[in-house]
């Protein structure tokens, strides 16, 4: 059974401040928003990093040490410090006016970092308390696009929580922003912003381009200036759960479900297929069990500015449909691997986006591949996080699954490289079903 919803991490002494770019840009810079940006405006990215403290006399880092590098960071990522405005034609855009990002300083005096991570093992979701709650609007012009919460624990350890408006950029952009901050903090200022590597297996887009996007769902009635998912469109008590899957567990799962065929598929494809099969059994033959959305990342195209300005260009949205009789894990993995219908072009050509409001994550059951996003490159004083995780807020009732590595891909631990963190956002009853399935059949809890 899932733990009580009242389980939470107590936070005290919150202080708010703002940091602006080191160079004044004024109000003369605008950033237009693409259809993909606008389709994602109800979604918010949550990133969370935990660090132990090896000292018994002082905290791992001070707020001054964190804030000082942000002046240069925001010079590089200047749209992050902007605000949403509307044109005379009522179209949203980002005014790059140096309004800044919000910093929250907080304390958790009851738990150590280790005790907090133990709560994750029990099923507690910590994103709501350690990442500041963010919604753009109803006063769009005053809503920061990015908030950073620094929480010190009684052991002197610290967590850094990121709340990032998805309209600004995707998880790859958000991770790049954090990694660049870490490099500036360490004194190793990169000439260009770091980005994710190319996927191991480049995808062939020929003959898989959709003419109509099925990965987005229109919200009716449309929402005006309060950009949060309406309750009546969600209709479910959504819960978040992180599953830690060791390399040994994952190798066994791949072998037992696909046998020799397992070498044809990525870990993401196997995990997604297992969860798709489990939820399809629960949802029977409904449409929601037959069509899923797959999201992954590739290097952005275009000029060099694309690498330093956050955007949603590296995100690829696609859909996969199965026949009713297809419910074997290896068959589902094959569909995810080779039968994706890419929808980016259809979304960018959709005339209604910008005029109507849409939902992406949870419009269908959505699987997000974060295996190539360098999450663990965010370091403080030479230390990598002991645990890092990304999730999405504003998920529709069909649910969301994110798959990432357990540690740095260039590390020397087998479990870090080949283990996975699986973050699931589902209606409460479905999450309980999935948790029981994974624990009973695969010894994953």
Reported as a single tens digit per residue, the pLDDT across 269-315 is 999 999 999 999 888 867 778 999 999 998 633 334 444 678 998 89
Cβ contact 240:373 at 8 Å: no
CA distance 38 to 58: 44
β-pair partners for 363: none
| Amino acid 230: pLDDT | 72
| Amino acid 123: pLDDT | 53
Cβ contact 172:297 at 8 Å: yes
As a whole number, mean pLDDT of residues 149-172 equals 94
pLDDT in tens, 5-38: 445 788 888 899 999 998 887 666 789 999 999 9
H/E stretch holding 357: strand 357-359
Query: For residue 228, what are the CA distances in angstroms to 43, 103, 131?
Result: 8, 21, 16
Judged against a pLDDT cut of 90, whether residue 444 lies above it is answered with no
- What does the mean pLDDT of the chain come to? 85
pLDDT in tens, 76-104: 999 999 999 999 888 899 999 999 999 99
Residue 84, both tokens: 């949403």
| Amino acid 303: pLDDT | 38
As a whole number, mean pLDDT of residues 223-234 equals 74
User: If we measure between CA atoms, which residue out of 238, 243, 335, 230 comes closest to residue 280?
Assistant: 335
CA distance 398 to 293: 10
β-pair partners for 158: 51, 152
In the chain, what percentage of residues exceed pLDDT 90?
55
H/E stretch holding 251: helix 247-258
> What backbone torsions phi and psi does residue 155 show, to the nearest 5 degrees?
-85, -5
| Amino acid 61: pLDDT | 86
Judged against a pLDDT cut of 80, whether residue 199 lies above it is answered with no
Domains belonging to the chain, first-starting first, are 12-190+214-442 (3.30.559.10)
- Give 109 or 206, the one with higher predicted confidence: 109
Judged against a pLDDT cut of 90, whether residue 332 lies above it is answered with yes
127: left (phi over 0), alpha (psi -120 to 50) or beta: alpha
Give the residue ranges of DSSP H helices in 259-317. Answer: 267-283, 287-290
């Amino acid at each position: 059974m899932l733990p009580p919803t009242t389980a939470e991490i107590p936070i005290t002494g919150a202080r708010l401040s703002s940091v602006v770019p080191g160079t004044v840009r004024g109000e003369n810079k605008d950033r237009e928003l693409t259809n993909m940006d606008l389709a994602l405006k109800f979604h918010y990215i949550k990133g969370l990093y935990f660090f132990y403290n090896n000292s018994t006399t002082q905290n791992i880092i001070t707020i001054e040490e964190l804030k000082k590098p942000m002046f240069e960071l925001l010079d590089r990522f200047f749209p992050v410090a902007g605000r949403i405005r509307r044109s005379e034609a009522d179209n949203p855009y980002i005014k790059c006016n140096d309004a800044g990002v919000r910093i929250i300083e907080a304390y958790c005096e009851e738990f150590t970092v280790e005790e907090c991570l133990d709560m994750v093992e029990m099923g507690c979701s910590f994103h709501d308390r350690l990442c500041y709650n963010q919604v753009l609007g109803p006063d769009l012009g005053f809503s920061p696009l990015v908030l950073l919460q620094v929480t010190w624990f009684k052991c002197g350890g610290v967590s850094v929580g990121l709340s990032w408006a998805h309209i600004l950029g995707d998880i790859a952009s958000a991770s790049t922003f954090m990694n660049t901050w870490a490099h500036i903090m360490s004194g190793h200022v990169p000439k260009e912003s770091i980005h994710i590597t190319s996927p191991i297996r480049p995808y062939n887009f020929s003959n898989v381009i959709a003419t109509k996007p099925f990965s987005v769902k229109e919200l009716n009635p449309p929402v005006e200036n309060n950009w949060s998912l309406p309750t009546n469109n969600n209709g479910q008590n959504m819960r978040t759960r992180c599953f830690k899957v060791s390399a040994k567990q994952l190798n066994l799962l791949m072998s037992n479900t696909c046998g020799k065929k397992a070498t044809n598929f990525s870990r993401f494809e196997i995990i997604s297929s297992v969860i798709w099969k489990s939820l399809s059994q629960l949802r029977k033959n409904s449409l929601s069990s037959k069509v899923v959305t797959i999201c992954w990342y590739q290097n952005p195209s275009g000029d060099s500015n694309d690498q330093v300005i956050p955007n949603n260009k590296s995100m690829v949205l696609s859909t996969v449909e199965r026949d009713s009789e297809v419910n074997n894990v290896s068959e589902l993995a094959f569909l995810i691997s080779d039968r994706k219908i890419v929808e980016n072009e259809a979304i960018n050509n959709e005339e209604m986006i910008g005029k109507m409001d849409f939902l992406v994550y949870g419009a269908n059951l959505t699987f997000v591949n974060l295996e190539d996003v360098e999450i663990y490159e965010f370091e403080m004083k030479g230390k990598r996080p002991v645990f890092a995780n990304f999730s999405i807020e504003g998920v529709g009732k069909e649910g969301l699954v994110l798959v990432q590595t357990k540690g740095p891909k260039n590390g020397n631990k087998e479990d870090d490289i080949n283990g996975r963190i699986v973050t699931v956002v589902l209606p409460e009853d479905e999450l309980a079903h999935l948790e029981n399935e994974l624990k009973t059949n695969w010894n994953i809890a």
